[in-house]
Amino acid sequence: MDTEHGFREAFRTIPDHYHRISLGKLHAATHEILRRGGLSDFHARQCATTISFSDLRGNDTHGFSTLLPRYVNELRTHCINTAPEISVSHLSETCVAVDADKAAGAVALNKGLKLASGLASSSGVGLAFISNARHASALGYFALRAAKQGMFCMVLAAGRGLMVPPRSCQPLLGTNPICFAVPTKGTPTLLFDASTTAACGNRIKLANLREIPLHSNWVREGEQADTPRYASISLPMLAPVGITEDHGAHKAFGLALLAEVLCNAMVMPSRADMNAKTKIGHFVLVVSPQDLNATAHYTSALLGLIEELEPAKGYSRVLYPGLRSHETALYRREHGVPIDPVSEEWLCETLGLPSLDLYEPNSVYELDVSELMG
């Protein structure tokens, strides 16, 4: 593991007083809490698995500590539909539209991914436009699943009311993450998953949990004029990647607009939905390579070239997207997932236990950790 220090490294440095809990036990607790919240066993399992994916791979911004309390609250306030009637419209031989009926995001995206993958298997390409869903946790989970089946996958999401466009003082778009995964041969999967804002909203929450000061350029507090009614009330306004036009913020804003259009404007858009901050659109593209072995070998060779590059001063190596997460997964699979004191207290209180040591999972299935590895 790298030992370089920097602002972002503060999030990867785990304090010694944090307890660690096995992924299996944490996953079972997540599943049980979501079941208590009203999700069916099957839907709770899908949501818990996407959260555990992040817990295992060190993507703590989308792990249980930030997302599980959010999902519990959304279940309590009926923002998530526990019995959605998901409808599918086949637009062409390679394209489907999915109305998720306010389903949990993991449920909606699993549906869209399955449909798009099936189309790609038969036609070479599959697209799914998913509307009216909720937050889906890390998009990388879904892209990785397709890549492990030998297919290229891109997943986008688009929300509302967090990103402040360049030259503006008001938020408009969401963090609008862009994700893709490519099959490889003999190396960890190339997996990129990042928001188009300098920090995703959950990183702000994680910084509060771990008492890490926010980077001064991440947020745009104090610059806001009249707040649009679709703006988030629980998070500050966020700057695009690049922060300013001089540093390329207009490029990140353009990519965020790409996500917005593909997720929300391509299939039966409604102007009324532009003001709905709880609805999140998703887009899934799956491509079945003409020659999987050639694609995988080329990608792996490219990743090898990246790793062979001479590191800049102060760094020990050059990383490609997905490598460090894979290494973190290997470590956490053996040593457990770190849990901050605030999240540990919340988990104990929610489960009705004085200590997590007393928790005995009652799930009837075990998590297949290999499913989450890259």
CATH code of residue 146: 3.30.1370.60
With a cut of 50, say whether residue 276 has pLDDT above it. Answer: yes
Q: Using pLDDT thresholds of 50, 70 and 90, give the confidence band for residue 362.
A: confident
Residue 152, strand partner residues: 287
Alpha-carbon dihedral 176, 182, 188, 192, rounded to 10 degrees: -20
**Mean pLDDT on 272-277:** 58
In a domain, 353, yes or no: yes
With a cut of 90, say whether residue 192 has pLDDT above it. Answer: yes
**Mean pLDDT on 243-271:** 88
Tokens (6 digits) for 33? 């809490």
> Do the Cβ atoms of 155 and 187 come closer than 8 Å?
no
Q: What is the pTM of this model?
A: 0.92
**Structure confidence by residue, pLDDT tens digits, 68-115:** 999 999 999 999 999 999 999 999 999 999 999 999 999 999 999 999
In a domain, 2, yes or no: no
Write the DSSP symbol of residue 333. Answer: H
In a domain, 294, yes or no: yes
pLDDT attached to residue 1: 38
Percent of the chain residues topping a pLDDT of 90: 71
Q: Rounded to an integer, what distance in angstroms lies between the CA atom of residue 112 and that of residue 102? A: 14
With a cut of 50, say whether residue 229 has pLDDT above it. Answer: no
Number of domains, the chain: 1
With a cut of 70, say whether residue 191 has pLDDT above it. Answer: yes
In a domain, 368, yes or no: yes
Tell me the average pLDDT of the chain.
89
In a domain, 1, yes or no: no
In a domain, 49, yes or no: yes
Q: Using pLDDT thresholds of 50, 70 and 90, give the confidence band for residue 151.
A: very high
In a domain, 212, yes or no: yes
pLDDT attached to residue 221: 54
**Structure confidence by residue, pLDDT tens digits, 1-15:** 333 446 667 777 888
Supply the range of the domain harboring residue 117: 9-372
pLDDT attached to residue 269: 64
With a cut of 90, say whether residue 365 has pLDDT above it. Answer: no
Q: What is the residue type of 119?
A: L
Render the burial of 3-13: b for 16+ CB within 10 Å, e for the rest.
eeeeeeeeeee
pLDDT attached to residue 371: 81
In a domain, 3, yes or no: no
- 3-class SS of residue 36: helix
> Do the Cβ atoms of 162 and 197 come closer than 8 Å?
yes
**Mean pLDDT on 287-296:** 94
